[in-house]
Structure 1
Amino acid sequence: MGKIVAAAVVSHQPGIMLPSALRLELYGGKDTTLVAGFETMRAALDRVRPDTFIIFDTHWFTTLNHILAGAPHYKGLYTSEELPEFLSDVPYDYPGAPELAKAIAAAATARGQRVLNYDKPNIPLHYPTINLVHYLRRDEKILSIGTCQVAQCHNFLDMGGAIAEGIANTDCRVALLAAGGMSHSFEPLDTIMDHMKPDPALVVTAEARDMDHKVLECWERGDHAGVIALYPAYRAHNPEGFFAHYLMTVGALGGAGCKAVGRQMSAYENAAGTGQVHVWFDVAA
């Protein structure tokens, strides 16, 4: 019987892929804490020994279904169409998790959910997946899951439940990695380069920053019901990818009944006006 052994909200902001000297130049001499945070998270993953990562990818938008990247293997060079100056010709080469993808798709279909397991390797990848693979993967299999742009809160939570059921029907030890930020509104083009430093005071509005802190405080208490209750108000501050990465993760952990306490593995930071953080959830407890 498969098991969820780890869960985390993980920032993928593209600046982490720059060499350290360029990061320091971009950020005015003070580096992001996210890179060191990946080392902390990898050490935590080593303690629970997952064999598979499920990455909820907030840049992979789908429309008619929740879609799983269920091919046996992915290999190539990745260049971001959004930020090629940050990510260009990044190599990737990793095994997929086709049996887990099939099990999740079967569980979701049986629950009446709209789901598609796309099992060919030619589907475009996105940098939330690429960046987490770069920093966190050792020999784990990778299953990326998209963000259905027409889904609502309950759809994401329900999909999380199907993911947990599918995992239970395999022998996988799974880490759920919610690859995305918090509030996610960018500064205008005329001023965006003045807001690149990690200083959280540069998050686009005080209201967005305050809402991010409310979510962080709920996570610190293990109050996931509180985060779900905040969701309608939070949407006004554009949490990245409709917050689908978190909602599917917590759906797999029991939804509003989840009590897993969150522990920050980075500072809460700004990136071009958006809120960014790594938070590890103690699912073992």
Structure 2
Amino acid sequence: MGEVVLAAKVTHVPSMFISEQEGPLNGIRKEAIEGLKRIGDLCREREVDTIVVADTHWLVNAGYHINAKPDMSGLFTSTEFPHFLNNMEYNYVGDPELGQLIADTATKNGVTTLCHHEVDTLEVQYGTLVPLRYMGIGTDIKIISVAGWMYDAELEESKIVGESILEAVRKSGKKVAFLASGSLSHRIPPNKDVGDYLFKISRPLNQQTDLMVLDMWKQGRIKDFLEIMPKYAEDCAGEGGMHDTAMLFGLLGWDKYEGQGEMMTEYFPSSGTGQCNVLFPVSTNAKSQQDVHPV
């Protein structure tokens, strides 16, 4: 039986790419990069076969979508931050088999989901590419990217997708890592001010709420967090509506999950947003999704 051996909420701020370049901003995101490196090391230690990333930079308007094309290689420039993130080379291998199994399982469980593994021109977004870069992932570990920004879907649907990922993994016989790639609060400052906010939060209330949420995660108060998540996502502009986070906790067992988050990178503001790398133990996964949705 397959298993999820690692689960984490991770940052993908493009300023990490600047941080590795020569110049006055060299090293500014060292802690974030080191946190992702540790998560990558854990993937290798736990002999992960495939990494599934819920990517909040992949916006979809209808249905849920998965990119699992075999050849995930290319040269990436962000259309949102071309001055931060440009000409970044990447070379990964997709996992069409598991991608299709996840799509079929989620669809069976009531959320229409399509897996794309024959569309060579479907691009991979930077919510997937940036974490993998700093985790040091190569072609020995396969990749699946799941759209994590739903234009008009409920968080409940993303919860079901997370549960379905767990169910599919258990059927697959593979060892899988899951990454919810997105920020906490995500209010980017107005254009005239944003250049002054590289190390600042956009609103003090957002930072205080982010820190409260991280305390909930570290204390294992997941049920309390889930009760406030929809309002939190709305009031603090959670990235992608926090659909990546709903998938994460759906996979972990939702309000039955009893694990405590471990900070791999301490909280930091970036261009007005709240960022972190948090590892969630998976040994406390709730009962198999097969127990919830008999097959």
Normalising TM by the smaller chain, what interval?
over 0.9
Per-residue CA deviations over 1:143-180 (Å, capped at 9, x if unaligned) read 00002221111111111111111111101111001111
1:223 to 221, 224, 239: 221
Q: Report the RMSD for the aligned CA atoms in angstroms.
A: 1.7
Question: Alpha-carbon deviation of 1:44?
Answer: 2.6
CA contact (8 A) 2:19 2:28 kept: no
After TM superposition, the structure 1 stretch with the greater mean CA deviation from structure 2, 157-166 or 53-62, is 157-166
Residue 187 (structure 1) aligned to one of 181, 186, 189 = 189
Equivalents in 2 of 1:177, 1:48: separation in Å? 15
> Counterpart in 1 of 2:142?
141
The answer for the alignment partner of 2:54 in structure 1 is: 56
Amino acid at match of 2:257: C
Q: CA deviation at 1:30?
A: 5.2
SS at match of 2:74: strand
Identity %: 29
Q: What's the CA shift for 1:21?
A: 5.4
Q: Quick check: 1:94–1:142 contact (8 Å CA) kept in 2?
A: yes
Residue 34 of structure 1: which of 32, 35, 38 is its match? 32
Which segments of 5 or more consecutive residues in structure 1 lack a partner in the other structure? none
Work out whether residues 12 and 126 of structure 2, in 8 Å CA contact, stay in contact via their aligned partners in 1: yes
Structure 1 runs (4+) greater than 3 angstroms displaced: 19-22, 29-32
Pair 191,257 (structure 1): closer, same or farther in 2 beyond 3 Å: same
Secondary structure of the 1:134 match is helix
- Contact 2:18 / 2:25 at 8 angstroms: preserved in 1? no
Task: Specify the SS of the correspondent of 2:159.
Answer: helix
Partner Cα distance (1:26, 1:135) in 2: 17
Seen in structure 2, the aligned counterparts of structure 1 residues 219 and 19 have a Cα distance that, compared at 3 Å, is closer
Q: Tell me if the contact between 1:26 and 1:196 (Cα under 8 Å) persists in the aligned partners.
A: no
- Residue 85 of structure 1 aligns with an amino acid whose one-letter code is H
Query: What residue number does 2:253 align with?
Result: 254
Cα distance in 2 for residues equivalent to 1:128 and 1:31: 16
Residue 155 of structure 1, aligned match among 148, 154, 157? 157
Extract unaligned runs of 5+ from structure 2: 285-295
Instruction: Output the CA distance in 1 between the equivalents of 2:19 and 2:30.
Output: 12
